[in-house]
Structure formats: structure tokens, C-alpha cells
Amino acid sequence: MSDDVRTPAQIEAEIARRRQGLAETLDELAVRVHPVTIARDAKAKAVSAVDHTVGQAYVAVNRAVGRARSQFVTEQGAPRPERIVPVAVGVVVLVATVAGLSAWRRRR
């Protein structure tokens, strides 16, 4: 008998193996297209996208706070009065102006 010739039992075993493989593939496809699976995958993708965006926002805010802090505090952590005082005066003037405008509007 040559290597190319298969017995009926070998052919039947090959058909059974392929049939089993096809059944497993069909089961996997059924799970993939099931609405619950699709919804779960969509939710996971959305959560991942939100987590990624929140992470990027956190890094950006941290960077901005670090830059702002460096404007008002030295590397050693000491305050820089020459930068803090003008900003504080500006804030006081802004609050006083808003309060004055609010009071003026109420009197009218």
C-alpha cells in the first residue's frame, strides 16, 4: 500500500475530525455574534476609551499645575513673593470690581 492511499476508517476519522472542528468554529461564531457578547465588547471598548481619555486629561492637568506652581514657587519650595503679590492684588481688584458692578446693578 502506498502512502497516498487511505483506508475507509482513516477517511471516516478525518471527516469526524473536520466535522468537530467545524462545530467548534460555529459555536465560537455564535458566541461572537450574540447580542450580549456584542454589547459587552462595546461597553469594554467605551470604558477603555474613557479610561484613556481620563488618563490623558490627568497627565495634562498635572503638567499644567506643575507649570503654574513653578511660576510661584522656587525649585526648593520657597514662595516667590515678586510673582505672588501682583497676582493676589489682581484677584482682589477683580473681586472688588465684580462686587461693585453687582451692587450697582441691584441699585438700578
The answer to whether position 72 is within a domain reads no
**Domain assignment of residue 97, yes or no:** yes
pLDDT digits (tens, 9 = 90+) for 15-73: 999 999 999 999 999 999 999 999 999 999 999 999 999 999 999 999 999 998 899 99
Cβ(72)–Cβ(84) under 8 Å? yes
Residue 84 neighbours by CB under 8 Å, 6+ apart: 72
- Residues 6 or more apart from 76 whose CB is under 8 A from it? none
Task: Answer yes or no: is 94 within a domain.
Answer: yes
**At residue 62, what are phi and psi to the nearest 5 degrees?**
-60, -45
> In total, how many domains does the chain have?
1
Domain range spanning residue 97? 81-108
- Inform me whether the pLDDT recorded for 99 exceeds 80: yes
Residue 18 belongs to a domain: no
Put simply, whether the predicted model's pTM sits higher than 0.75 gets the answer no
